Amino acid sequence: MENNDRTLDYIIEEMIDTVKNSKDEVFEIAEDSRKEYDQLNQELAILKDDVGTVIEEGDHLEAKSNIARQKLSEVSKNFHQYSELKIKKVYDEAHQYQSELLVTRDKERALRKRRDELELRLKSLEQMVERADRLVGKISVVLNYLSEDFKNVTDLIHDAHEKQQFGLKIIEAQEEERRRLSREMHDGPAQMLANIMLRSEIVDRTYKKGDMDSAVKEMRSIRKMIRDSLYEVRRIIYDLRPMALDDLGLIPTIKKYISTLEDKHPNIYFNNKQSHDARLASQYEVALFRLIQESIQNAIKHAEADSIKVDLDITCQRVIVIISDNGKGFDQTQKKEKSFGIIGMQERIEMLDGNMKINSKVGQGTKIHIKIPLNQENIHTK
């Protein structure tokens, strides 16, 4: 039996090493793809600027060429009125403009072709990075499972099924949270900072060309992007764990959270009613805050609502939360992929023995009704 145990441990160690190496390789592929994506994105921004310049030059040359051709036509019709030198000059001028126009249009076609190739490559790289990220997440789940739950597999042979399911649930939840945070950082501050870098290069090019008005306009745009980046960073930090929840409680924390959104979303209204002064158990306050936070974020990001109302009613027997918005709504008869936010909310509510109802119609907004039962064990006196 002891030899079997050692053999199992050896096999598990080998599996862990193999999975770790695979994870590192996939991660390197993802990082290399990201670097190439950023480089090509910069090249594309410069290329688009060049395309615009070449098109402008081509249009200018085409106008000059048309004028020169009209002049040549006039000279040809009345050639006896012009000297041979004048006719040659007009012909040379028309020929020169036509030649320059052909060269410019060829350059434009080449730039457009390169631009289209870059856009296709960027799309391919984006898909590759997404696939690699998903694969790294899945490998992490397997790796954590092998490392944590299978280290001493002989000691865990009893009740293996229950421990397996429980461990996987925890690991999957951790990985999903990491993916969410990574996605928010990538789509938010990281993307904004990359755009700021690109725009700063455009400012530099515009300034060198002597176009001060465009340079000043770009700088104003960059300042706005920096403010937006700071806003996103502060929001993500607050999302990780609102410190006020432990110190102040649920209602003040919700009010504070809504106040952080006021600059961009002033029409978020919060009404609360509580029949007692006691605090709810920590897990209930955290869950309720996250449910309200997720609902508000969904209304802002996905429903594009400009008015959101949150009603919170707490008694000794239950908590009722109603979140309504005037966003674009959705068709409840059609199942949507990636509805992880709603699934996560449903799981939180079920853990507290509650229930959730969602009413939504396209173009008529969304209303979420949450009810969670309470008992004396869930209420803490101050």
Model confidence band, residue 243 (pLDDT cutoffs 50, 70, 90): low
pLDDT surpassing 90 at residue 319 = yes
CATH number of 242-380: 3.30.565.10
Mean pLDDT of 116-127: 87
Residue position matching structure tokens 């919060």: 270
| Distance of alpha carbon 211 from alpha carbon 207, whole angstroms | 6
Rounded Cα–Cα distance for residues 321 and 192 (Å): 34
How does pLDDT run across 40-62, given as a tens digit for each residue? 888 888 888 888 888 888 888 88
pLDDT average, residue stretch 247-264: 86
CB atoms within 10 A of CB 287: 22
pLDDT bracket for residue 308 (50, 70, 90):
very high
Q: pLDDT digits over 166-193, tens only?
A: 556 656 766 776 777 777 777 777 788 8
Q: Is the pTM of this model over 0.75?
A: no
CA 112 – CA 51 distance, rounded (Å): 7
Domain with CATH 3.30.565.10 in the chain: 242-380
- Region 364-371: what's the mean pLDDT? 95
3-state secondary structure 20-87: HHHHHHHHHHHHHHHHHHHHHHHHHHHHHHHHHHHHHHHHHHHHHHHHHHHHHHHHHHCHHHCCHHHH
User: pLDDT of 186-197, one tens digit each?
Assistant: 777 778 888 888
Query: What per-residue confidence (pLDDT) applies to 231?
Result: 75
pLDDT in tens, 64-111: 888 888 888 887 887 777 777 887 888 888 888 888 889 888 888 998
Tell which residue, 93, 100, 97, has the closest CA to residue 75: 93
Q: Which amino acid is at 12?
A: I
pLDDT of residue 2: 47
Question: Cα torsion at 321, 323, 324, 330 (round to 10°)?
Answer: -110
Please give the structure tokens belonging to residue 87.
């006719």
